[in-house]
């Protein structure tokens, strides 16, 4: 089998180059999927998804990489994917992302006052046993509501109701 000029120039020859290129292509497909949720659907994913993807991809690279021959290409690929994962995770693509990070900190058993403290920068509507938080009046987010159900002044349950 004859390899193309790019793969034949990679350290480790065509096989190592092909496997590394395949791993990078799969990583880009995964990153594209994460970006689709984060940027286009505006649905921030939890850090566990990013950690799972990054860990799985790293395991694949470590299993197929020939560090003796393709060290710089392998390390470069790993660094590239880690940087792209970090950018996707930490960039607030919309006001929903920081809102959900704050909202996810609310735990059952917290007092209503602790909840208000965590969500202090967001608009709140209160009723007898409910706190409803909003992060935006923008058209695409104006119906996003972080609902906190209280029982005797203590958080019983939380629900995020997307627009």
Q: What is the mean pLDDT of residues 60-76?
A: 71
Q: Rounded distance, CA 71 to CA 120, Å? A: 49
Q: Are 10 and 17 in contact (CB under 8 A)?
A: yes
For residue 110, what pLDDT is reported?
92
Task: Give me 69's structure tokens.
Answer: 């021959």
Q: What is the mean pLDDT of residues 130-158?
A: 86
| 15 confidence band (pLDDT: 50, 70, 90) | low
For residue 4, what pLDDT is reported?
42
List, in order, residues 6 or more apart from 16 with CB less than 8 Å away. 10, 65, 66, 69, 70
Per residue in 75-128, pLDDT (tens digit) is: 887 888 889 899 988 888 878 888 888 999 999 999 999 999 999 999 899 988
With tokens 């992060």, the residue in question is: 135
**Average of per-residue pLDDT values in the chain:** 81
- Is the pLDDT at 39 greater than 90? The verdict is no
Beta bridge partners of 133: 124, 146
| Other Cβ atoms closer than 10 A to 40 | 9
Rounded to a whole number of angstroms, the CA Rg of the chain reads 22
For residue 10, what pLDDT is reported?
47
The CATH code of domain 96-161 reads 3.30.1450.10
State how beta strands 154-161 and 123-127 pair. Answer: unpaired
Residue that wins the pLDDT comparison between 85 and 141: 85
Beta bridge partners of 61: none
Rounded alpha-carbon distances, angstroms, from residue 98 to 53, 68, 116, 119, 128: 22, 43, 16, 11, 27
Instruction: Give the distance between the most distant pair of CA atoms in the chain.
Output: 74
pTM over 0.75: no
Q: Are 144 and 162 in contact (CB under 8 A)?
A: yes
């Amino acid at each position: 089998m004859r390899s193309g000029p790019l793969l034949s120039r990679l350290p480790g020859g065509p096989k190592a180059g092909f496997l590394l290129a395949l791993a990078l292509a799969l990583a880009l497909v995964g990153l594209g999927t994460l970006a689709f949720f984060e940027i286009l659907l505006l649905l921030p994913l939890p850090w566990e998804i990013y950690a799972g993807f990054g860990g799985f991809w790293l395991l694949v690279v470590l299993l197929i990489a020939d560090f003796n021959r393709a060290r710089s290409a392998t390390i470069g690929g790993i660094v590239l994917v880690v940087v792209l994962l970090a950018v996707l995770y930490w960039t607030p693509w919309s006001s929903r992302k920081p809102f959900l990070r704050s909202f996810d900190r609310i735990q059952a058993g917290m007092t209503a006052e602790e909840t208000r403290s965590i969500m202090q920068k967001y608009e709140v509507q209160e009723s007898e046993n409910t706190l409803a938080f909003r992060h935006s009046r923008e058209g695409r987010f104006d119906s996003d509501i972080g609902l906190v159900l209280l029982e005797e002044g203590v958080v019983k349950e939380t629900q995020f109701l997307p627009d």
